[in-house]
Amino acid sequence: MAKYENLIPRFLKYVKINTRSNPNSGTIPSTPQLTEFAEGLVKDLKEIGLDNVHINKQCAYVYATLPANTDKQVKKIGFISHFDTADFNSENINPQFVENYDGKSVIKLDDSGKYTLDPAVFPNLKNYQGHTLITTDGSTLLGADDKSGVAEIMAAAEYLLAHPEIKHGEIEIGLGPDEEIGSGADHFDVKDFGADIAYTVDGGPLGQLEYETFNAADAQVEITGTNVHPAEAKGVMVNASQVAMDFHAALPEHDRPEHTEGREGFFHLYSMNGTVDSAHLSYIIRDHDRQIFEDRKKLFQGVADQLNKEYGSDRVQVTIKDQYYNMREVIEKDMTVVDLAKEALEELNIKPLIFPVRGGTDGSKISYLGLPTPNLFAGGENMHGRFEYVSEQTMEQATDVVIKIAELAEQQA
Ligand SMILES: [Zn+2]
């Protein structure tokens, strides 16, 4: 029998429910299905036997508490995951199983073989020799991001309840919606949650431990032209589309996603449209270094200022909004939360994989709300699309890590 009896069954039950979040919704959470899913989680968490199970007053996160079973003063540890899925078909998810994968075969996802998992394309498959893989049928995403995290946290809590000989402090669980549309963590209530340190269990492959993210801003550029008949345009026409191209050309040409890696930041033009009369450019600005991030925003505004000076009027309007910041700034002040996870991985003979994330996590926001929250692996690969898969064994190991962190924190208190 599997060590965590309900881990995979619960995961399968959850992925079959469509919880794709909606970026164009103004509601919290972004769809009625997410509310329904949250209510289902409340029921399941109560059934496991957890205390204080409730949906927070922002109507977003489901919280639950596993009471301490020790007299020691142990830091309260939170484990956080999200149950919405990315912007990809999530209707009728039909998980497929590959038992005892040989680490080299091409896996057919759909019957026709149009979509496959090929180690030549996805080399990480080679790491899964002997594993049971759960894949899609090629028509949807899987939703391991991040229902694997949800199922792992719940399995860990269930295991700890069944094994009182493992001593631990109070454990807080937080399962939330709308991570994929970037708004979920805005409705995280740190005070209600009650943890001293926390982890999102939302990373990828075995061993991932992330505590460094981008600093992130969204930047919109609105350009106003002067549209006259091309025949009589000399000295009069200002072509907004031309100004837009000039704007883009004035940004550092190598600071783009396709030319950068590691800790190199960028300006990413993700949408553009324009006529002679008006044009609009949409960017994201990213950098791990806070000072360089601030400089990037200044440079961006500076390009607009320079163009406005040349035209003698405010034709280029820039609106920059910060989205989230590098959690490292917060976490560095007290590395306990990272050290604890590292030790847990090492005790379980899992090699810690620590790299700066070229993105953000819910923890980027939650850390700035005062709760240091690095990100632990949950096991998923190829997230956000039809090639997503996860290994049952890796999910078990992620569950082991959650338990080990709770255990170590008690031993060290
Ligand atoms: Zn995720």
Q: What is the pLDDT confidence band of residue 2, given thresholds at 50, 70 and 90?
A: confident
Give the pLDDT confidence score for residue 279 in this predicted structure: 98
Supply angle C-alpha 113, 119, 120, rounded to 5: 95
- Ligand 1 centroid from CA 228, angstroms: 49
| Residue 180 is labelled as binding a ligand | yes
Residue 229 Cα to ligand 1 middle (Å): 51
Residues 251, 302: Cα–Cα separation, whole Å = 10
254 labelled ligand-binding: no
Distance 153 CA to ligand 1 centre (A): 14
* Spatial distance between the Cα atoms of 382 and 36, rounded to a whole number of angstroms: 27
Mean pLDDT of 263-267: 97
| Ligand 1 midpoint to CA 200 (Å) | 9
Give the mean model confidence (pLDDT) for residues 405-409: 98
Share of the chain above pLDDT 70, in %: 100
CB 197, CB 337: distance < 8 Å: yes
- DSSP for 69-116, written as a single string: -SSS----EEEEEE--B-SS--TT---EEETT--SSSPEE-STT-SSE
Answer whether residue 84 shows pLDDT above 80: yes
**Residue 315, C-beta contacts closer than 8 angstroms, at least 6 positions apart:** 223, 224, 225, 238, 240, 243, 307, 308
Cα separation of 223 and 316, whole Å?
5
Q: What is the DSSP string of 261-294?
A: -TT--EEEEEEEEE-SSEEEEEEEEEESSHHHHH
Question: Any known ligand binding at 384?
Answer: yes
Distance 28 CA to ligand 1 centre (A): 18
Q: Are the CB atoms for 353 and 205 separated by under 8 Å?
A: yes
C-alpha neighbours within 13 Å on the C-beta side of residue 119: 11
Tell me, what's the pLDDT at 47? 98
Q: Are 350 and 203 in contact (CB under 8 A)?
A: no
Structure tokens of 22? 């909606």
Predicted model pTM: 0.91
Give the span between the Cα atoms of 60 and 319, in whole angstroms.
29
Provide the pLDDT for residue 111: 94
Burial of 393 (0-12, 13-18, 19+ CB in 10 A): middle
Mean pLDDT across 85-90: 95
Task: Say yes or no to pLDDT of 74 above 70.
Answer: yes
Say whether 186 counts as a known binding-site residue. Answer: no
Q: What is the mean pLDDT of residues 62-73?
A: 98
Distance 179 CA to ligand 1 centre (A): 7
* Domains, the chain, with CATH or none: 6-212+327-412 (3.40.630.10), 215-324 (3.30.70.360)
For residue 143, how far is its CA from the centre of ligand 1 (angstroms)?
A: 9
Q: Which residues are catalytic?
A: 84, 179
Q: Which among 181, 132, 171, 180 has a CA at the least distance from the CA of 26?
A: 181
Condensed to tens digits (0 to 9), the pLDDT of residues 281-328 reads: 999 999 999 999 999 999 999 999 999 999 999 999 999 999 999 999
Q: Which residues pair with 65 in a beta bridge?
A: 51, 172
Rounded to the nearest angstrom, the distance between the alpha carbon of 73 and the centre of ligand 1 is 32
Strands (E) in 185-309, as ranges, are 197-203, 209-210, 215-224, 266-274, 278-287
Per the prediction, the chain carries an average pLDDT of 97
Of 37, 19, 32, the closest CA to residue 141 belongs to 19
CA atoms within 13 A on the CB side of 128: 32
